[in-house]
Amino acid sequence: MEDYDPIFSKKIKNIEKKHFWFQSRKKLLLFFIKQFLKTPSNILEVGPGSFDISCDLIKNNISKNLCCCDIFHDILKNAPEKLRKNCIQIDSKNKLPFSKNFDAVLLFDVIEHIKDDLNFLNEIKSCLKKNGLIFISVPSYNFLFSDIDKNSGHKRRYSKTQFTRKLKNNGFKVVYSTYFFSFLLPIIYIRKALKNQDGLKINQIANFFFFLLSKIEFNILKNTTLPFGASLFIIIEKKI
């Protein structure tokens, strides 16, 4: 959220609909949201990107009231018309103009961009109703941190053990956690070693193959958690 590259953002928007990473990630995140939000809920999405997930939340009747916020006007002005009236620009200090309004807050690949992630999560806490949930996805393992992370505006990557301990020590209840994109770990490691700067470029055959692997992993994650992966997913609850 503290960094925005309009060229990179446009590049993502152009490939997102066909790229396995974006579509497989969306499918998994929507599955988890449906599992933990049993009725249509008031939802805040921070850093909505291309609004792809936001639109699906409305389409699938997961959200009865959806609000999106970002610090960048250039992102919010591209919101679909049905979402535009509920888009709010927040200030660069990540102060949120809400108070106990939401059943859930979505932070999908957001907090790795924020210098003081814990302070921001405490700010998010004030937006939630009693027993409200925060859904978080982040890139995993600092040993995989590369120039691609730097160019993407990432401050860090996360390990499940350290992050869950940090959350618990600061008054959050961890409801659920798992790694995902397990099959990408060796690829990201090799990409870092080769100093490959384009993390989005992929040919059609590889994209198809990774779609298949993602589908297999999705079926596994419907029944259990994974002990490793290139991304980490966590749900935390506001403790009263």
**CATH (domain of 103):** 3.40.50.150
Position 11 scores a pLDDT of 63
pLDDT at position 2 over 80: no
Q: How confident is the model at residue 52 (pLDDT cuts 50, 70, 90)?
A: very high
**Position 154 in a domain:** yes
Task: List, edge to edge, every strand of the sheet that includes 102-108.
Answer: 87-89, 63-70, 41-46, 102-108, 128-139, 231-238, 172-180
The span from the CA of 185 to the CA of 226, in Å, is 13
**Position 65 in a domain:** yes
**Position 11 in a domain:** yes
DSSP 74: H
The model's pTM is 0.93
Q: 108-124 pLDDT, tens per residue?
A: 999 999 999 999 999 89
Task: Tokens 């957001």: give the residue.
Answer: 110
Position 104 scores a pLDDT of 96
Position 201 scores a pLDDT of 79
Q: How confident is the model at residue 33 (pLDDT cuts 50, 70, 90)?
A: very high
Position 199 scores a pLDDT of 62
Q: Which residues contact 61 (CB under 8 A, 6 or more apart)?
A: 40
**Position 115 in a domain:** yes
DSSP 140: B
Position 5 scores a pLDDT of 57
pLDDT at position 4 over 60: no
Position 152 scores a pLDDT of 86
What values do phi and psi take at 31, rounded to 5? -60, -45
The amino acid at residue 6 is P
Residue 100 or 175, more confident: 175
pLDDT at position 7 over 90: no
Q: Which residues contact 133 (CB under 8 A, 6 or more apart)?
A: 36, 37, 103, 104, 105, 175, 235, 236, 237, 238
The mean per-residue pLDDT over the stretch 213-218 comes to 98
List the one residue out of 175, 160, 158, 36 whose CA is nearest residue 109. 158
pLDDT at position 139 over 80: yes
Residue 238 or 129, more confident: 129
**Position 207 in a domain:** yes
Question: In terms of residue numbers, what domain contains 113?
Answer: 6-238
Position 135 scores a pLDDT of 98
pLDDT at position 207 over 70: yes
Residue 104 or 78, more confident: 104
Number of domain units in the chain = 1
The span from the CA of 154 to the CA of 143, in Å, is 14
**Position 1 in a domain:** no
pLDDT at position 16 over 90: no
Position 99 scores a pLDDT of 79
